[in-house]
Amino acid sequence: MNVLILCTGNSCRSQIAHGYLSSFCGEDVSIYSAGVETHGVNPRAIAVMKEEDIDISEHTSNHVDEYMDLSFKLVLTVCDHANERCPYFPNKEILVHHNFPDPGKATGTESEIMESFRKTRDLIKVYCKELVKQYELNRQ
């Protein structure tokens, strides 16, 4: 089964969720992430996931149009902008939306910005664990 995570630029929130869902889901689940735009994977997102022993450094920032021909059990939008601009996926069973704060817009010292990334990461982690249980994404 396929799961798609959508965000605005596929740089922070969707990449973090992609990392967690890849870690939490069963082997028969393929995780994809994309944006309604592409901004490149944020180095701070890579760094905070590395703190969790999850390597997303090889992820790429992909545009949602790349996945229009795939069938998805679940499409998750992780920001309001992507939810509003989410294209129609005829081959999806479930559309879920949860808006997370955008750590990419954080300002302040490097320490304060990284703390913003960690807070968003931790919110996404909890949500992804619940999502896996709710939709039985870890079943073989």
25 is catalytic: no
Active-site pick, 12, 25, 79, 128: 79
CA angle 58, 63, 68 (to 5 degrees): 115
Residue type, 98: H
Active-site pick, 7, 12, 25, 128: 7
Distance CA 42, CA 104 (A): 8
128 is catalytic: no
Cα within 13 Å of Cα(44), Cβ side: 19
79 is catalytic: yes
| Catalytic residue numbers, as ranges | 7, 79, 86
